[in-house]
Amino acid sequence: MTSVRFIFLAILVFSVCIVPASAMTPIFTYRGTVTDLDPAGETLSIEATHKWGCIFEEDFAICGWIEIDHREMRATVPINEVFSYTHAGDTVEVTGNPNGSWQGIAKLVPTSVIDNWYATDLFGEPSTLRAPLDEGYELWYQTYTDCASCSDNACAAEEALVSISRSGQERWTGWLLPGEVHTYHDPGDLSRISVKFVSGETSSISCPDSDFNPFGPEPFSRFVVNVRPSDTGSLVVTSTPDGALTYVDGQYQGATPLFLTGIDPGVYTVLIEKEGYESWGTVVEVRSGRSSTTSARLVPLYGTLTVRSMPSGARIFLDGTAAGYTPTVFWGVLPGSHVVTFSKEGYYPADTTVQVSAGQISFAYKRLRAGDGAVAAM
């Protein structure tokens, strides 16, 4: 069984292979520009400008890219899919033996940091490559041995356990058989990473009755990994209070809160409506691979009036119209001055004037005065 942990870091990639040291073969890592692709001959040529190397100081290794004299290199590719994604002039990182075979190839894009690169596409053995994946993605995998298919010191891998992380958080973990592909779409910015397990090899040392050859070629696995930012954007719409009807460019989208994905880049008009509140609108720009957010604090059109009396059970007249009995709460009251009249058999009628404000709770209260022969107001 071969176990490979593959976590991309900003400068250095650590890879762990459970393989005896004597079975390790030299692997060189170069960075340069693609000068020629030959699908028929299954070769890729580069003009190498940098080589990965380490300097040891007081038992510490300082590793990084070292500029070298430009040199032409040609070797066979680990996977023919590389011809579908790379072109002459692309910057790549390659690992393996020049004039022999490349074990891994990474297509690179520059970052804002000088001499720092991200990988958008990987081909072959990912653990040998140094560049971190683009968009903050990370990949971990472990292959499992098929002991019935061993030859010399290598056995075929019958499956691979693959884990995709982003910014240190696990996003997906699952099993892939040879030839299977898994694509993860990030709901935050709609970027995606596709991982194809092409084939794998593991060391036969873990299999009983195998003829392990410590001087044979080192087993390695072949993957195709593609990272892409989203071509569309997303829009988050919230409101206070929730449950407001939302229209984007006049098309109803649902009630807030909303998370809308797959939106083409552009400028959109957002209209939010809720009964009892003023309509609210704005213009928002949606960008590819990004999530735009707009939030509305809705302004209420009406106020709330709470009416109580002592004793309770008094009939209420609101602006001269019978409206129930105390205690009660009136919702949706128009802002302004209102007259509340209280009437109860055996008590003198009473009234009070109350000011109602939009979005506020107002109170009307009366202690009724009992009296002989008092008649309730009609």
pLDDT at 14: 30
* C-beta separation of 95 from 114 below 8 A: no
- The pLDDT-based confidence of 111 (bands split at 50, 70, 90) is confident
pLDDT at 55: 81
Question: Are residues 256 and 222 located together in one domain of the fold?
Answer: no
Show Cβ contacts of residue 58 under 8 Å, excluding neighbours closer than 6 positions: none
Cis peptide before 110 (omega within 30 of 0): no
- The pLDDT-based confidence of 15 (bands split at 50, 70, 90) is very low
Instruction: Tell me whether residue 373 is in a domain.
Output: no
User: Mean pLDDT of all residues in the chain?
Assistant: 85
Could you tell me the residue range of the domain that residue 350 belongs to? Answer: 303-367
Among candidates 342, 316, 343, which has minimal Cα distance to 330? 316
Question: pLDDT tens across 62-98, in order?
Answer: 888 999 999 999 999 999 999 999 999 999 999 999 9
Among candidates 139, 127, 128, 123, which has minimal Cα distance to 29? 128
Cα distance between residue 280 and residue 316, in whole Å = 35
The whole-model pTM stands at 0.60
What is the domain count for the chain? 3
Query: In this model, does residue 158 exceed pLDDT 80?
Result: yes
313: CATH: 2.60.40.1120
pLDDT at 17: 31
Instruction: Tell me whether residue 103 is in a domain.
Output: yes
Question: pLDDT tens across 176-215, in order?
Answer: 999 999 999 888 777 899 999 999 888 777 777 766 666 6
pLDDT at 61: 79
Question: Are residues 121 and 25 located together in one domain of the fold?
Answer: yes
| Eight-class DSSP state of 101 | B
Residue where one domain finishes, among candidates 228, 247, 280: 228
Residue where one domain finishes, among candidates 175, 196, 228: 228
Question: Are residues 62 and 154 located together in one domain of the fold?
Answer: yes
Question: Are residues 249 and 124 located together in one domain of the fold?
Answer: no
